[in-house]
Chains A and B, each alone.
Chain A
Amino acid sequence: MTTSETYLPDVLPVPLPMDDGMDKPHWDGLNAEKLIVQRCGHCHTWIWGPEHVCYNCLAWDPDWVETEPKGRIYAWTRVHTPGMDALKPVTPYICVIVELPQAGNIRLIGNLLGPGTQDVKIGEEVVGQFEHHSKGGYDYTLLQWRKA
């Protein structure tokens, strides 16, 4: 195939839940087109990256809750030298850190869909788009972002 339906070609590593399975609800959620992240059931702190205990009140096993995949760009980069030869043909590409105001301003990393040369600014509103992959016997989903 010379064209790809995914933002980056299928040469990147497959994300798996951690060995202890702690973050499995997040990855399962993405496959079901839901954004599932952690929120402490005790003190209600939103938590990302995931933890076994709430970093605020130290209660065990924060809840896994669904939140809307929308947010605003907190930081970005445009990658010209990706560190993987197979990505060179698609440079430049844009990676963003998206902040979720409805979820305690936790942040997620993704790609900004659209041309890699487009203008991008901190604070721009973005909405999530689930990007399904199947590779090496694994089905997984990335959460990508598009300008709102």
Chain B
Amino acid sequence: MNEILQGMARAAWLVVTLDADLVEIALRSLQVTLTAVAIASAIGLPLGALLAVSRFRHRRAAIATLNALMGLPPVVVGLVVYLLLSRSGPFGVFGLLFTPTAMIVAQVMLLTPLIASIAHQAMRDLWADYHDLLISLNASRAQRIRALIWDGRRALLTAALAGFGRGIGEVGAIMIVGGNIDHSTRVLTTAIALETAKGDFALALGLGFVLIALALAVNFAIHGLARTEAGSRW
């Protein structure tokens, strides 16, 4: 209990003094995860919509695979990206291992199935609603997908935010591919892991509170921008 109070005090102190290291790693956390979410959404949202509106041979298998991929263990993704980006791996020549880019790559792999799967679920319900009308209006497949994405944008925002939630709190994959290098690839979660290993639970917890606050702030900011909860929902 005492440790939790100390953690809160530590978090408050770090934030109030605008600790330079804290600001740096918090910004890097945001940079990595927001970029990954943007890329994963650009892939996952249309993919989810496409799966909802098209009928093809292995559609059910594709959806089942996607849902299974949602539970990908971050450590395994990290290890795979690590082996791919290592100098002795197939993409070694780019020298990306232990850079923020590598962390983004790993998170894109983690988040895309999650975002696509949630998007697919939302799009499937909307498509059940819209199916007859869009067929009747003779909308092309691209037009159907566009209508679903536009009218389902709030559900899709939720999908993207779920991706953000998973990404910002993720440590397994980015620890492996980023290496937790000070001033280069250290982010909030890897810093928490490090402080825990050092036994400095108060600082670790303080960083944890900062992480939670950051995640909340981003959620509120985006909901505010999109005015999701304001007025009537549709």
Co-assembled chains A and B? no
Residues of B within 8 A of A (CB): none
